[in-house]
Amino acid sequence: MKKVFFIIGILLVSLNVFAQKRFTGKDLIGYWEPDKHASRMIIWNDVENNLQMVEFSTIGGDVLRLISMKIENESLIVKTVFDKTNWETERTFNFVSKDTLICKINGPIKDSVIYTKVK
């Protein structure tokens, strides 16, 4: 019985340590794929160490125009316009794990998309 409590204690401490991990802009760098029709993303640091991103449609490959991007309270908040339809959206990305983001879309369509880091 002591072993069971010991194992449960270790699991709780491990989960607590993971939950306290702070993600940074560096964790966002890479190529991200959505779990459904949305946009693929590439995020990188430019030569001045500023976070940059480009997004393109999974359907036609059209590039979305980036209006703004900022990190606020461990969330990446992005505003873009899809020029073909003139849709402006604000999306909030939050880490689920080191290689998984959940994106809440707010605009003409309200939805959630799961992104997985490929590289």
pLDDT band with cut points at 50, 70 and 90 for residue 116: very high
| Cα–Cα distance measured from residue 10 to residue 16, given in angstroms and rounded to the nearest whole number | 10
1 in any annotated domain: no
31 in any annotated domain: yes
Would you say 116 and 98 are in contact if contact means Cβ atoms under 8 Å apart?
no
| Cα–Cα distance measured from residue 48 to residue 97, given in angstroms and rounded to the nearest whole number | 27
The number of folded domains in the chain is 1
pLDDT band with cut points at 50, 70 and 90 for residue 2: low
6 in any annotated domain: no
Place of tokens 């799961």: 114
Which residues span the domain enclosing 60? 23-117
8 in any annotated domain: no
Q: What is the CATH number of the domain that holds 56?
A: 2.40.128.20
Is the pLDDT confidence value at 112 over 50? yes
pLDDT tens digits along 25-80: 788 999 999 998 888 999 999 999 999 999 998 888 889 999 999 998 889 999 99
82 in any annotated domain: yes
Would you say 98 and 115 are in contact if contact means Cβ atoms under 8 Å apart?
no
